[in-house]
Structure 1
Amino acid sequence: MQYLIGVDLGTTATKAVLFKTNGEIVARSSQDYPLYRDLSGMAEERFEDIFEAVLSTIRKVSIHLNENDDLLAVSFSTQMHALIAYDKDWSALTRVITWADTRAVAYTEQLKAGTKGFEIYQKTGTPIHPMAPLSKLLWLKNERKSIYDTAAHYLELKGAIFHKLFGVNKIDLSSATGTGLFNIFDLEWEKSALDLTGLSRDQLPQMVDPYEIECGMSHEFAMKMGIPKETKFVWGAADGPLSNLGVNAIEKGVAAITIGTSGAIRVVTDQPKTDSKARTFTYALDRTHWVVGGPVNSGGDVYRWLRDQVFDGKSSFDELTELAKTINAGSDGLLFHPYLGGERAPLWDANARGSFFGLNYRHTRAHMTRSTLEGIILNLYMVALSLIEVTGELTQIQATGGFTSSELWIQILADIFESPIAVPDRREAGCLGAIVMAEKALGLVDDLSAVSKMGGTARTYQPNEENFPIYRALSPIFIRLSRNLTDEYRQISDFQRQFDPNK
């Protein structure tokens, strides 16, 4: 039998999934690691934790291979926007600075205040935001000068994994397009971005196609993973684009909506497209598939906050969902803006803060629960409106991520978007997308459309038309509030930073 392993380098866990070549899942393994938030705005991880998770999860799925089985390749999906600085001897100077780190907010605001930021966005497709390595580098340059002055190399997370395994200094096209430093039209490092950050091309890795293959890791690592040392490792792509591929949302107008820890809505185009209002991103899946969309910080993490802080961690998510079911659509006029950690699309405002709006004596914790679910979806709907302006109408919606286990949450999505929602039987969409890319790299399939023959059938949720007038009335209020509170967001976040006891 022939098999492939897909690995997903996530924000809070690394996952490995063993597949047959037809996409059937044989085994899966996941290993968590901490996200360090020691200081205000910090969101870092230890590279050693993630690398150990890669070795461990691959080993736990590879034990399902028999002696005569053939492991064709291991292929990777990765969280985007991470940054690690190294000195000239390749000793790490930083931990993994993740997309969730917002310490670069002041430099992001300065860049957005002038025209330079918008000009760079139009060339790179990455919105100006603290998540991007572009902004992180400005922060290092100004606030961690000793690191900035010593750094000879910069890598993102997957590049760091491959450097550890194979000694290479590379970055795949998909990850490169999420740095804010890479020209998505010329497919090379953008000079204006390098000039702004003070970097030279020598400090950045060589860009390679997602189909690039590495071989020849050390005997030590092969033993720890339980696989042959000559096993082919395919670079793969970033997690957002691969999620689209994994749920077969690569045709024109087919949107993928994902809610896990965070969330996103994305469509695929045949060429890069930027937004005249700088609300959407453009990242590569490969040279002929470009993913346009918007990511949100506000997903499962917000629901977890509700459980832990409002309900004191004493209720399960299923219990919260049952509670929310007792409340009418629209939560009787209670709106929730889910910006607990700032927001990416469509606001691109790290200062944004969460709030309940419309509270009255009638509202209970049950209302707050349903309002939280609705607020996360209304925020994604606001992103969708921007996306439609850039790429055209959405013809179909595929949903994936942990939120699909909640029928209520999917129904809210269908009602707010006024569209049927298909939930493919592809619980490991990113890993599946990675092994489809591996099959193309190995010449087993001709193109990425082969994914349509993999995985099970989808279940579809139909929208409830009775709820359309409710959400049509509430969504403009939701949108106006989020856009009109920009000054107040900045003022309250300044206050929080000024009087933060942990700074």
Structure 2
Amino acid sequence: MSDSGLGRKIVLAVDLGTTSAKVLAIDAGSLAGGGRAVIAARAEREYPLLSQEPGYAEQDPDRIAEAAAEAVREAADAAGCGPEGVLAVAFSTAMHSLVVTDGDGEALTRVLTWADLRAAGHARKLRGSEEAADLPSRTGVPLHAMTPLAKLLWLRERQPELFASAGRFIGIKEYVLERWFGRPVPMDESTAGGTGFYNLHERNWDDKAMRIAGIGPERLPELRASTHVLRGLRPETAAKLGLNPGVPFVLGAADGPLANLGGGALEPGVASMTIGTSGAVRVAVRRPAADPHGRLFCYPLAEGWWIAGGPVNSGGVVFRWMRDKLAPDLSGGDDGYARLVELAMEAPPGAGGLLFLPHLSGERAPHWDERARGTFIGLSLEHDRRHMLRAGLEGIVLHLRSVADALAGLAGELREIRVSGGFARSAALRQLIADILGRPVVRTDSEDASGVGAARLALHALGLLPDPAASASAVTDRCDPNPELVPVYDRIHGMFKRLYERVSDTFVELDAFRSGG
């Protein structure tokens, strides 16, 4: 470990993700001077996503709390510095989760995750409501089924007795911390920004959103800054985690905003693009930048910093679908995706006049259309699977360009894209991103950006890192746009946007057909 006056001190960064709890033991000294993160140990525990009905995406909150505890203990033990060596524990969390609890803090429901779309109909009604028209400008979050606001509207209509008897409506991070501390804990403003209830400008729960949902502020957690420190871990929990009861817990923030901090993407005009199972494009701003058109989000990060951007469903999940359905012979071995990319790149840019809308499971930004579906157009007898694979990859990136262009219009021109996630491991795909977006692309060195961001925020909260934005994050593998292909993809992107506009009504009809209507 580094020697920066902190000795053998670590920060435990706990990332409560959609599929697992990950814990990084990060050398505090490596971050205190604004340097790159040195990860001393890591641990991970998975938990299942439960879907008892179409559109449901739930998890067991107690299983998540147990998984997080196991991962904390393993990472702390592996770091080898003992309880006295843990400087702080900091949290990153997936957004938009909802847990309904009773008056004693016990869970009355499973965790309703961001992927739970049971409230899609209620979200559509909100988008068509005059009363809710200004909510995106007030809260910074689009009106979508992912939000706890929409989920509570569903709960009030479909399970009125449960809604009426519920004590509080919290997120998974609050639930885990309440198990560990034995008392109600506040929600950080960053995570609150994804609920649909947080007023971005007043920094409080929004009166109109609560009125629409039929709740008061007493049924929501108290709000605190992402740098708020909790103390007083239950002794039995401390023993289970292998920590001192007095170790400070920093509330932390949502995983998306923290990825910008951990990946060093806080400079003006520098966007963070993550393409894992899903994807997102985000940029840091110094004042709230709510989108009046409801296409993009704007969430707080820390004092004086907000993160604007847009998430998409169509990321690596589409890549995997293409491999499994169009090239099952390439599914075996570790190099299956690399061979898939090689095959796709045998087709020319533009895939011989074949376009693909990649919305296989509905879409979020910028359309927020749960009924959108995948669409090939332009298919001819001359096309083969190489063209379809290339059109699929181009469709993923063309959609991300739509988000990036909307973001540039809201927050200012994007001069550089910093990419991370599995999609970004391929040099050919990074070049494709540069060519389609018409902007330089670099790969960040941090695949653990959210956890690193949480650790930096913790040091800032403890007064050991005055300016977390100055922290280093190395970038590698720069790809500049091919000037010959930029105008080609400009033209293709125009066709791509118009295609969605022209088939969106058909998506509505097909949804009714699938539903038997």
**Fold-level match, TM-score > 0.5?**
yes
How far the C-alpha of 1:37 sits from its partner, in A, is 2.5
**1:314 and 2:331 matched:** yes
**1:459 and 2:477 matched:** yes
1: CA distance, partners of 2:403 / 2:56: 26
2:65 to 14, 36, 51: 51
Counting only pairs closer than 5 Å after superposition, residues 57-456 of structure 1 correspond to structure 2 as: 57-67=71-81, 70-166=85-181, 167-312=183-328, 314-315=331-332, 316-452=336-472, 455-456=473-474
What secondary structure is seen at the aligned counterpart in 2 of 1:72? strand
- Alignment CA distance shift 1:141-1:498 (3 Å): farther
Q: Can you give the 5+ residue segments of structure 1 that lack an aligned partner in the other structure?
A: none
User: Please, what TM-score do these two structures have when normalized by structure 1?
Assistant: 0.95
2: CA distance, partners of 1:366 / 1:38: 37
State the Cα deviation string for residues 108-144 of structure 1 (Å, max 9, x = none): 1111113222211111111001111111111111122
What number of residue pairs does the alignment pair up? 497
How far the C-alpha of 1:67 sits from its partner, in A, is 4.6
How far the C-alpha of 1:204 sits from its partner, in A, is 0.3
- Alignment correspondent of 1:498: 516
State the Cα deviation string for residues 184-225 of structure 1 (Å, max 9, x = none): 111111111111010111100000111111122233333333
What secondary structure is seen at the aligned counterpart in 2 of 1:74? strand
**Contact 1:347/1:483, CA 8 A, preserved across alignment:** no
1: CA distance, partners of 2:385 / 2:70: 41
What secondary structure is seen at the aligned counterpart in 2 of 1:264? strand
**1:18 and 2:25 matched:** yes
AA in 2 matched with 1:322: E
CA RMSD of aligned residues (A): 1.7
Q: Can you give the 5+ residue segments of structure 2 that lack an aligned partner in the other structure?
A: 1-7, 31-36
1: CA distance, partners of 2:303 / 2:39: 28
**Contact 2:41/2:79, CA 8 A, preserved across alignment:** no
State the Cα deviation string for residues 12-67 of structure 1 (Å, max 9, x = none): 12211111121211222222222222311111111123222211222222122335
What secondary structure is seen at the aligned counterpart in 2 of 1:116? coil
- Alignment CA distance shift 1:345-1:373 (3 Å): same
What secondary structure is seen at the aligned counterpart in 1 of 2:352? helix
1: CA distance, partners of 2:441 / 2:462: 34
What secondary structure is seen at the aligned counterpart in 2 of 1:460? strand
**Contact 1:6/1:432, CA 8 A, preserved across alignment:** yes
- Alignment CA distance shift 1:96-1:473 (3 Å): same
How far the C-alpha of 1:480 sits from its partner, in A, is 0.8
User: Please, what TM-score do these two structures have when normalized by structure 2?
Assistant: 0.92
**Contact 2:442/2:475, CA 8 A, preserved across alignment:** no
State the Cα deviation string for residues 230-252 of structure 1 (Å, max 9, x = none): 22211110011101111111122
- Alignment correspondent of 2:51: 37
**Contact 2:265/2:418, CA 8 A, preserved across alignment:** yes
Stretch moving more, 310-319 or 204-213: 310-319
**Contact 1:118/1:278, CA 8 A, preserved across alignment:** no
- Alignment correspondent of 2:3: none
How far the C-alpha of 1:457 sits from its partner, in A, is 4.3
What secondary structure is seen at the aligned counterpart in 2 of 1:7? strand
**Contact 2:277/2:316, CA 8 A, preserved across alignment:** yes
**Contact 2:351/2:387, CA 8 A, preserved across alignment:** yes
**Contact 1:219/1:229, CA 8 A, preserved across alignment:** yes
What secondary structure is seen at the aligned counterpart in 1 of 2:149? helix
AA in 2 matched with 1:421: V
AA in 2 matched with 1:376: I
How far the C-alpha of 1:148 sits from its partner, in A, is 1.2
AA in 2 matched with 1:434: A
Identical residues among aligned pairs (%): 39
- Alignment CA distance shift 1:42-1:497 (3 Å): farther
